Structure 1
Amino acid sequence: MLAALLLASCRFLQTGDPADLHPTAPGAIQVVGNCTPTCTDSVDVVAMGVAGFLVVPWRDTTQLVLTAPLFSNPSVPWMMFGDLFFGTQPDTATITRRLQAMPAANADRLSRVAAVVVGHGHYDHLMDIPPLVSRLPNARVYGSETVANLLAPVSALRTRRVIVDSTAGRDANRPGTSYAVGSAVRLRAIQWAHAPNIGTITISPGHQRTPRRTLPRTVHGWKMGAVYGYVIDILAADSSVAFRLVFHDAAANADVQRRTGEVIATMPPAHQTIAMITAANFDQPAKYPDILLAHLAPVHVILGHWDDFFRSSDAAERVVRGIRASELVARLAPFVGNRWTAPRAGAITRFRW
């Protein structure tokens, strides 16, 4: 990793001002939706940090969905030197402090999480799940075989790991199947990909083919594995799809985006579609997120993974290293104009219909 950083452009060691993203303040509620004449339902999407979001459907608040958050943010110097010699563990004190600062992700709500979706096994998506398990007593964790094997040492999860490899959608001919999460929520995994982190280098590639006996000691032990995006469907009382969230936690190439659009086209239509895209490495693959947005025509975009996760989560947010926020905004404009949100941890985006 050190060699990769030294060989890469210095922009990968610098973090940017988030002003171009107009981040939503912690605790603030951004309301999206013009109901005529009145609203009948809503969904809150609570930003939790990096690619973590808590999805709260108001028709049934007993079945919440969480995308894997990160609060333990090891710094660049630690990643380059300290991790090798001392290893990296979740920062439980920071996790507790950050959750206490997020009333919208309180203990009662976390206890009602029924599904945690994990796109891939890298540390910035999976490392903080084990210490969160005690707060998620009713949650199943959905992810690849690698994700399941990495979490094997967590005894409380041994019967609550769902491997999505065989049910994930691939394309129009292999659209996959959905999981029922209570009466109002459906999940479907879709084969996705992970753009290189730096140049042509993807950090911690590979798979965890067998169950681990202990959790990884270093960040590099958290292998990427197969990568998935997810469709989170919120159902209306008549079982139609009132609201669809299309989530992924890594940038991907044009072909992957196209095939994702094919899979979603085979699914029941949704009244509203929201795209939850990742800002990190957005400029590495060609035409990201252009192809996906063209297929989905979303009413709104939520930016995830835009904050610098090599910086303390207690510090003021900066833009993730290696990207230019102004370029990302320009890329979104032809598809959604200004209908996008970059929420800070603790901010709420409320969708009404």
Structure 2
Amino acid sequence: MTTFAMCTSLAACHWVRTGDPAPLRPVAAAQIKIVGDCATAASCHDSVDIVAMGVSGFLFIPWRDSTQLVMTPPSYTNPTLWWTVFGNWLVGSSPNEARIARRLRNLPAAGPDRLSRVRAVLVGHGHYDHLMDLPVLARYVPNATVFGSRSVVNTLNAVPAFGRMTGAASRLVSVDSLAGVTADQPGHSLSIGDAVRVRAIAWEHAPNFGTHVIARGTVEAAQTSLPRGLFGWKLGRVYAYAIDLLERDGRVGTRIVVHDASASPEVVRRAVAVIGTMPTARNTVLIITAANFDQEPSYPDILLASLAPEHVLLGHWEDFFRSPEKSERVVRGIHGRQLIDIVNRFQGDRWTALQAGGTLRMRY
């Protein structure tokens, strides 16, 4: 897409305006919201903390075994809208290492000790707002393996910390051949320590505007350098993930279903069918994506009705064209109140939005 066409498209829509976060009632950084079906900590069977790290980045902490953590990648560089249109085209874009370091210092719930215990980083797709900061974040999660599409693996091949260029054991795993696609092809779960299993599930990315998905395509060969500009971070195959937190007897205590793009009814129904083949979970937490939610019919309605989760988290709701060191605003191009009205219809008050550094604690 040319710079002129991009500017014309943006000027013709409401992408140039951020939204008021008030309807989302986001939990502030460093605060913990406790939900669940037990009245006191003494009567609880178990618990899990979900820490928001920024945009669609979350850190999942199962308290039965807090040495085997899982996360999805946050976004901190956040080029402005005008840089995306003009500066990126002229000089390219790269991770803002100083900003990433500052943001992590200000997230005590996701501090160095906890990040060192991350064993799996789950990548839904390869766009820059999900993947570009991960090469810098690699040094903060030295014990983690990255799971994503072959395109994601090929892109990150250029990062020495992930091993493929250094001769060390690779910390990159493609889930293309492991993912669930339909009830007849449910895929295979990956064991992340004794207390966590992960299943990748085929998903898709709704149009960013009109019928256009930016940076569509795949990276077909292992790269030796990272993309120069934002649109070199190719979409690749898209995945949702079901993260199963296991009890001591091997049963699933909490299942967290997470994805970072809205999807069509057909794809959502297939994903729900895959989840239906998995062992029953005591609790389900569903993380939906706010960005572009209204680009697909019946999103997130079908997911909410089919999975009937105990709790819903809003992900990807922050404006990622805005510095994360400023107060959060709702991502451009959506109406936050409309999304909340949908969620309320299915969930009542059983939903939460978190500012970066905020925590949802589910006790059961």
- The TM-score range, normalised by the shorter chain, is over 0.9
Q: Secondary structure of 2:101's match?
A: helix
Q: Secondary structure of 1:214's match?
A: coil
Q: Equivalents in 2 of 1:272, 1:216: separation in Å?
A: 40
Query: Deviations 1:202-247 (Å, cap 9, x if unpaired)?
Result: 1000000001110011000000000000000000000000000000
Match in the other structure for 2:92: 87
Quote the RMSD (CA, aligned, Å): 1.0
Q: Equivalents in 2 of 1:106, 1:156: separation in Å?
A: 20
Name stretches of at least 5 consecutive residues in structure 1 with no aligned partner: none
1:43-122 aligned at under 5 Å gives the runs 43-122=48-127
Match in the other structure for 1:207: 218
The answer to whether the 8 Å contact 2:203/2:238 transfers is yes
Amino acid in structure 1 at the alignment position of 2:55: V
Query: Deviations 1:9-34 (Å, cap 9, x if unpaired)?
Result: 33111111110100110011000113
The answer to whether the 8 Å contact 1:5/1:12 transfers is no
Q: Equivalents in 2 of 1:139, 1:17: separation in Å?
A: 36
Residue 15 (structure 1) aligned to one of 14, 18, 21? 18
Q: Equivalents in 1 of 2:214, 2:139: separation in Å?
A: 29
Q: Secondary structure of 2:293's match?
A: coil
Q: Equivalents in 2 of 1:42, 1:195: separation in Å?
A: 33
Residue 260 (structure 1) aligned to one of 247, 250, 271? 271
Identity %: 54
Match in the other structure for 2:6: 4
Match in the other structure for 2:138: 133
The answer to whether the 8 Å contact 1:46/1:348 transfers is yes
Q: Equivalents in 2 of 1:189, 1:5: separation in Å?
A: 36
Query: Deviations 1:25-65 (Å, cap 9, x if unpaired)?
Result: 00110001131670121100000000000000000010000
Amino acid in structure 2 at the alignment position of 1:149: N
Match in the other structure for 1:292: 303
Amino acid in structure 2 at the alignment position of 1:18: P
Q: Secondary structure of 1:56's match?
A: strand
The answer to whether the 8 Å contact 2:6/2:85 transfers is no
Q: Equivalents in 1 of 2:161, 2:107: separation in Å?
A: 25
Q: Equivalents in 1 of 2:23, 2:344: separation in Å?
A: 13
Assess, with a 3 A threshold, how the Cα gap between structure 1 residues 5 and 251 changes in structure 2: closer, same or farther.
farther
Q: Equivalents in 2 of 1:4, 1:270: separation in Å?
A: 44
Q: Are 2:254 and 1:246 aligned?
A: no
Amino acid in structure 2 at the alignment position of 1:19: A
Q: Equivalents in 1 of 2:260, 2:107: separation in Å?
A: 22
Q: Equivalents in 1 of 2:7, 2:145: separation in Å?
A: 36
Question: How far did 1:156 drift?
Answer: 2.0
The answer to whether the 8 Å contact 2:14/2:332 transfers is yes
Amino acid in structure 1 at the alignment position of 2:235: M
Amino acid in structure 2 at the alignment position of 1:160: R
Runs of 4+ in 1 over 4 A off after TM superposition: none
Q: Equivalents in 2 of 1:131, 1:4: separation in Å?
A: 29
Question: How far did 1:170 drift?
Answer: 0.4
Q: Equivalents in 1 of 2:56, 2:299: separation in Å?
A: 17
Q: Secondary structure of 2:270's match?
A: helix
Question: How far did 1:295 drift?
Answer: 1.3
Q: Secondary structure of 2:256's match?
A: strand
Amino acid in structure 2 at the alignment position of 1:251: S
Q: Secondary structure of 1:82's match?
A: helix
Name stretches of at least 5 consecutive residues in structure 2 with no aligned partner: 165-169
Q: Secondary structure of 1:115's match?
A: strand
Q: Equivalents in 1 of 2:306, 2:6: separation in Å?
A: 35
* TM superposition score normalised by structure 2: 0.95
1:142-161 aligned at under 5 Å gives the runs 142-157=147-162, 158=164, 159-161=170-172
* TM superposition score normalised by structure 1: 0.98
Query: Deviations 1:76-120 (Å, cap 9, x if unpaired)?
Result: 110010001111110111111111111000000000000000000
Question: How far did 1:293 drift?
Answer: 1.3
Amino acid in structure 2 at the alignment position of 1:346: G
Q: Are 2:198 and 1:187 aligned?
A: yes
Q: Equivalents in 1 of 2:335, 2:81: separation in Å?
A: 19
Q: Equivalents in 2 of 1:252, 1:338: separation in Å?
A: 24
